[in-house]
Structure 1
Amino acid sequence: MSERKDPVLRVVPQHRDINSNGHIFGGWVLSQMDIAGGIIASNVCQGACATVAIEAMEFIAPILVRDVISIYGRVVKRGRTSLAIKLEVVATRDRGASEVKVTEGLFTFVALDENHRPRPLPPS
């Protein structure tokens, strides 16, 4: 995702998010990505949606305490009831002196009706 715009989500991990190696727990990162993807998906779906798949997750570098995490995303595929969103996570370190891409993944969301069943996406 070479053309970054404004992040969908920006967050600072806390000490409670550390794993046994002293880095930020991968599950925490995954949950933040799911939140960011859900923001994009709910806007596109114009309503309720749910994560149905996470594909091609790759952890490139660790996230450290005091990093500022920015999550960027864009829709890369639309189906009849679902959409795929590419998410990229960048850590800003050393008080803004450096940026490191730490992970990326492809998340698939499905639009839901009032009965929590898949429904067609609105026209784009």
Structure 2
Amino acid sequence: MHELEQEDPIPQGDLALQITALPRETNGFGDIFGGWLVAQMDLAGTAMASKIAGGRVATVAIDRMAFLVPVAVGSQLSFYTQALESGRSSIQLMIEVWSDDPASGDWRKVTEAVLVFVAIDGSGRTRPLPPRR
């Protein structure tokens, strides 16, 4: 993991998605479902990976995931992506999720994970990444 216990943490990478956590995404305790949060991370990662790949990508792995704090309904979530490594056809991204809780005003890191994407062609077959600019 990257440094989860930073003294004065700031998001790493580029803002890829912002969304408000709604009541329909909660469990019986009123917290946002972890699975919903992972799906939003995948959307944010796909947006960035498709830019790098110059087209269609597929998620092939999620590695090193950690949930740090629960997410309350109404929280504004910000998803930051940072490219860690690229291979012939793969892209490894760190995705961090930050929460701005409207009730408390707290700005805090909610979770982070490393997701791996591969570039694919129109037939769903792996293709090489374009040359870096």
Shorter-chain TM-score tier: over 0.9
Distance in 2, matches of 1:58 and 1:104, equals 6
Q: Is the 8 A contact 2:13 2:82 kept in 1?
A: no
1:112 aligns with one of 95, 100, 120: 120
Report how far residue 114 of structure 1 moved: 1.8
Q: Find the counterpart in structure 2 of residue 48 from structure 1.
A: 56
Contact 2:75 2:99 in 1 (8 A): yes
Letter in 1 for 2:34: G
Aligned to 1:90: 98
With structure 1 as the length reference, what TM-score do the two structures score? 0.93
Q: Which runs of 5+ in 2 are unaligned?
A: 3-9
Greater CA deviation, 88-97 or 21-30? 88-97
Q: Match of 1:75, SS?
A: strand
Task: Tell me the distance in 2 between the aligned counterparts of 1:3 and 1:29.
Answer: 17
Q: Are 1:18 and 2:23 an aligned pair?
A: no
Task: Report the CA distance shift for 1:73/1:6 in structure 2 as closer, same or farther (over 3 A).
Answer: closer
In the alignment, which of 12, 36, 39 is matched to residue 44 of structure 2?
A: 36
2:111 and 2:64 map into 1 onto residues whose CA distance is 10
Opposite residue 97 of structure 1, the aligned amino acid is G
Listed as ranges, the gaps of 5+ residues in structure 1 are: none
2:5 match = none
Aligned counterpart, 2:88: 80
Q: Aligned partners of 2:13 and 2:56: how far apart in 1?
A: 25
For residues 5 and 82 of structure 1, the distance between their equivalents in structure 2, rounded to whole angstroms, comes to: 18
Distance 1:123 1:67 in 2: 39
- Sequence identity (%): 39
Instruction: Find the partner of 1:9 among 17, 21, 45.
Output: 17
* Superposition deviation, residue 96 in structure 1: 7.8
Amino acid in the other structure paired with 1:49: V
- Per-residue CA deviation, residues 20-79 of structure 1 (Å, 9 max, x unaligned), is 221000011000000000000000000100000000010000110010000001110000
1:96–1:48 CA distance, 2 compared to 1 (3 A): farther
Give the count of matched residue pairs: 124
